[in-house]
Amino acid sequence: MTRPRTTTTTRIFLAVMSLLGAGGISTARADDAIEYWTNYAIYPKRCVHYNNNDHIMFAMYEKASNHCVDAPLGTYVASVPTFVYAYLEQAADNAADAGEEYEYPAASDYLDCTLKQIGGVDYYVQLGCSDYDPTTLAVNIYSDAQCTEHSHVDGYDDANLSVDISVSFGKCMPCVVWFDKNADDIDDQYYVNKQMNSPLCSAMWEYKETCDRGCQKMGNLASSWGDGWNKADKVLLSILSLFGFGMLLAIINKRQKMSNKDALLEQAAISAAGLQPSHILGIFALLILIITIFGLLGLKKITWALLLILNMVLFGYLMKLTLDGSVKETIIGPDGKIVEDDDDDDDEDHDHDPNNSSFASGYSSPAAPPILNDKAIV
């Protein structure tokens, strides 16, 4: 759906949403108003449920050129409808500057508390946080017309309605986005207005609510897996981790059964590389620690890469131990020929064994008398 961009309507909506969503979190107001937004950036962190309300936690940065890696001006929250409405207004403003028409997502109908029938029962629904992932939104169900009392179906308050709104959590976004413009298409006030009017940042700065230590702690608990890890990622991460752990146990088992000769050869190869077994264990432990840290930081690509490399190394070493254990040891005689160890040799050795009782006593069975034929009998 297409909606006109009206600053007055935006202000009224945000003011109402801010009043409804300010549930016990201290609110910072316009004493520190910002006039020009050119150098500022906003960093949406995650969606949190705090003080019985769904909020989006975000940080504001004074220098967008630093890509939100320096110290922020502060960490704040805004109710989900308040943040999303301003977020969509920013998207509409960017589309207008690009000369495009913006189509509002269908889920924007749930920014207000709306009556809807679900499973034959009347509920009130409104956009909020998902029960499964702190980086996604969901339409939540409520039992009252003000959408303040959460209701649950099968233990969850998500309405299982499609949400086509995606907030760029974990992404640094500049407050002012510039587009190429022809000089004939703009007037002298264009650049001034562009710097002074940032739909998302200006609204969030005006209606921000300070997120104290308890609020940030709730956010950290909600994102204990790191930003950006969805449910499918967590399942695959668990499978790869269990697969690697299983191979590690198999390697330990095979090394315990390794022959002395193979152990000495492996030790010689490690020493030739200038390493000791303790060095190998240290490198392995350090790699696991690095993978864990990157995973908690939400650095998905490098986490996947390191985890796959580790699994491939473990798999390759396990295959080497398996093949080495299945090869029969070959004995080379003094003449350079392969000595066959068969049953005939065992029998021959047994016959000439000094421990054999008959060999030790010097006694041998007497020869059987010859059988005479009829002609030999007189």
Band of the pLDDT at 40, cuts 50, 70, 90?
Answer: very high
pTM of the model: 0.55
- Selection from 344, 43, 55 nearest residue 200 by Cα: 43
Angstrom distance (rounded) from CA 354 to CA 361: 10
pLDDT tens-place string over residues 305-314: 888 998 898 8
The pLDDT, as a whole number, for residue 61 is: 93
Residue 235 in this model has a pLDDT that exceeds 80: yes
Band of the pLDDT at 365, cuts 50, 70, 90?
Answer: low
Q: Of 77-81, 109-113, 120-124, where does mean pLDDT reach its minimum?
A: 120-124
What does the radius of gyration of the chain's CA atoms come to, in whole angstroms?
A: 38
Average pLDDT value for the chain: 77
Residue 336 in this model has a pLDDT that exceeds 80: no
Contact indicator for 40, 64 with CB cutoff of 8 Å: yes
For 305, how many CA atoms within 13 A lie in the half-sphere containing its CB? 5
- Selection from 150, 147, 133, 157 nearest residue 47 by Cα: 133
